[in-house]
Amino acid sequence: MAYGLKPMKKRYVDTPNGQIHVRHWLTPMAPTFLLLHWTPFSGRMYEPLGNYLAALGYQVIAPDMLGYGRSDARPDPWTMQDWAKGALAVLQQYEASQTCVVGGHNGASVATECAILGSDAIEQVVLDGCAILTPELRKAFAAMVKTERPKPLEDGSHVQLVWDRMERVWQEYIPGFSVETKADLERMWPAMLDYLETDFQTSAPVSGAYDLTERLGAISQPVLLLTAERDTLASSFQTAKALLPQARSHFFDGDHPLHFASRLDEYAGVLTQFFPLKA
């Protein structure tokens, strides 16, 4: 049954480490999706999905993790557990009778920690692309630091710096991506805004210091593992399934459907089948 569109609202939630900006679609006491974004994006990426799920009758909460979007910068040092504590602090501000946390890529690692640290608040877990890094990659990520704000360069490359970096990010999420259509261009503007909001801070050191393989087994809730054929983390899918043999899983054909409006119902359908509304 469709319940009609619940309008998206925005607010800030105070936490010990700073204010977190939140997009939400309120249906108090309804089953709640807590959506944790891919980086370096923000909760903005979930607006179409939030509208879709809210129209079905779900409550939806999509925070900008600290350091991203309109949330405050995160302090240093920082850990995946710190992001999870912030997300759980946000969740506490809402009437949520039951909650499914959904995290994509880096957000999947945060969702894992939400499940472990907030086992009383989180009932189900969706890990959409598990960032299982090799020791070499974790070492390389851990060595990355905040990029200095660009200065004028003689070759003029500073003019395109943000564009080029966000095009590379999209190529990580949609292999072969380039701006050829109006739809491609529309992907770039919000991604560039989100990246500028980070003030060139990267999540790489946090990811490099975190070993997801050591944490997956500590999840006690039902888990749904997701990936797509052309997702850059598809190669981690079988490893995650081996570490979580009781988990349900779904493998999307082609590119990841979350990035395409025409396939939003496909993505939402898998989520709602795993976490259905009660009759």
pLDDT at 168: 93
Average pLDDT over residues 137-166: 77
pLDDT at 2: 46
On the question of pLDDT at 272 being above 80, the answer is: yes
pLDDT confidence band for 220 (50 / 70 / 90): very high
Fold topology of 9-147+204-271:
Rossmann fold (3.40.50)
Mean pLDDT of the chain: 92
- pTM equals 0.94
Parallel/antiparallel/unpaired status of strands 32-36 and 9-15: unpaired
Of all residues in the chain, the percent with pLDDT exceeding 70 is: 96
**pLDDT one-digit tens code per residue, 38-64:** 999 999 999 999 999 999 999 999 999
pLDDT at 151: 77
Q: Where are the domains of the chain?
A: 9-147+204-271
